[in-house]
A and B are shown apart, each in its own frame.
Chain A
Amino acid sequence: MNNLKIVKSNRPTLSTSIDAKYPLPIITTHEKVAELTQLGDNWDGYGALSPTKEALIGAMQLAMELFEEGTPLPDVFPVPNGNIQLEWSCFGFDLEIEVISNRKLIACFDNLATDESWEKPFTFELTELRKVIEELTLRNQPLPRMRVVNG
């Protein structure tokens, strides 16, 4: 996978939106994922595989599909098997998403406040994952200042 080049295709999908400019968390995540294209095989010294093309594209698409303005930035890691992991540990949530491709994900979620915990694969139905990321985004918003009104 050395010498990979990212090309942004001009071919639009059938989805439409009035927003032409992507939210910052998408752009930043894309940059982090793009850095992983520099990794060759054995990047960890223990025989790890370089990130697969499928995982790189899957991670970028996932950001496009689920991230909004204000979504906390995930840590982005290569996994020795060629997959890519996105990870959040903030606002009382632990969320890890291992991206295999744009149609295969495995997510682990822990809500530290409620003990809700699950690990499950995702393919085409991402509603449950989106809800968790929406909640993270909500908790990442600055708290409104209390206004004191006298008399």
Chain B
Amino acid sequence: MTPVMSNLSFKDPPLKEVAFSLQFEPIEGFHIGYLGLVWNEFKSRYPRVESADELPHEIEKFGIISRQQKGFQFLEGVPPPRVMFISEDNQYITQLQKDRFIFNWRKLFDESLRYPRYPAVKKMVLDELEIFTSFLTANDLESPNFDQVEVTYVNHIDADNRSIEHVFKDVIDQSRFSSSLMLESFSINLKHLIRRNDENIGRMYTAIEKANRITDGKDIYVLRFVGRVRPKVPTLAGIVDAMDIVREEINNCFSSVTTNAMHEEWNREG
């Protein structure tokens, strides 16, 4: 695989949240008890625990009819949970369920927090993953057989005094509309196939919308990227390669939809 390299880097990126979801075939014998036991390995760095609904096992398929689908759940007693181990400062979350390992970085309330940058976050993901896989080995459980890597980047861009044309390239030209119509909100969704060597290996979902920030009610533009790639091999090497591919494609999309003027505001470095 030959990713298209993008050198996009900012000193002050508008990132609000980054998530790496590494999905694998359900591990035989990994029952709910292990979700509690594994916290021992994480609790020194993640003292808080929360639970959430299990995420469905999804992979990007090709050649199918694209139609809005309802998800299906088969209830069989109490559904198994997804556990969330949360760091003291709320910045980092490691999440586990029977077929996913998820690592999040987020900037909740402290706007002075800086995104640690992709190489550092990638190392954190792989370090935490190694702790999880060592736990599996120590408990005579099989190693994960990875079938999809999903990377999410969520950006919040202050919309006060910034027109949509100032922030996004060629998205909506408000000048085409009557001056009696003021754009109040919008939502744009793009879906791209990610291709390498003439094969479809994943999809990139780009969503742009205008919203109100929950914390202070301010108008913001939310720019969200979700990239999903099937690892070429279902091993650690495969997911590292897939993570790099998705990150590069997210950078490519970010560069394609945002303006140079905003790049300057965010202090572009590369």
Contacts and interface: CB of A to CB of B under 8 A. Distances in A.
Interface of A: 1, 3-17, 19-20, 22, 37, 53, 56-57, 60-61, 64-68, 101-103, 123-130
Given A4-B76, A65-B64, A125-B61, A9 B70 contact: yes
B71 interface: yes
A99 to B, nearest CB: 13
B70 A12 contact: yes
A66 B70 contact: no
Contact of B67 (A10, A19, A101, A102): A19
Contacts of B74: 4-7, 37, 53, 56-57
B79 to A, nearest CB: 10
B64 to A, nearest CB: 4
Given A12-B68, A15-B67, A60-B72, 6 more contacts: A6-B72, A8-B70, A14-B189, A56-B74, A68-B65, A125-B61
B202 to A, nearest CB: 9
Given A6-B72, A56-B74, A16 B189 contact: yes
B114 interface: no
A11 B200 contact: no
Interface residues of B, number: 27
A18 B200 CA distance: 24
B71 A11 contact: yes
A90 B74 CA distance: 32
A64 B71 CA distance: 10
A57 B72 contact: yes
Nearest to A33: B72
17 contacts: A1-B76, A5-B75, A6-B72, A8-B72, A9-B71, A9-B72, A12-B69, A13-B69, A16-B68, A17-B68, A61-B72, A64-B65, A65-B61, A103-B59, A124-B60, A124-B62, A125-B62
A102 B57 contact: yes
Given A5-B75, A102-B57, A124-B230, A66 B69 contact: no
Interface string B37-74: 00000000000000000000111111111111111111
Contacts of B65: 64-68, 130
Nearest to B62: A125
Given A124-B59, A129-B63, A15 B75 contact: no
A4 B58 CA distance: 21
A102 B72 CA distance: 11
A17 B68 CA distance: 5
B147 interface: yes
A13 B61 contact: no
B226 interface: yes
Nearest to B201: A124
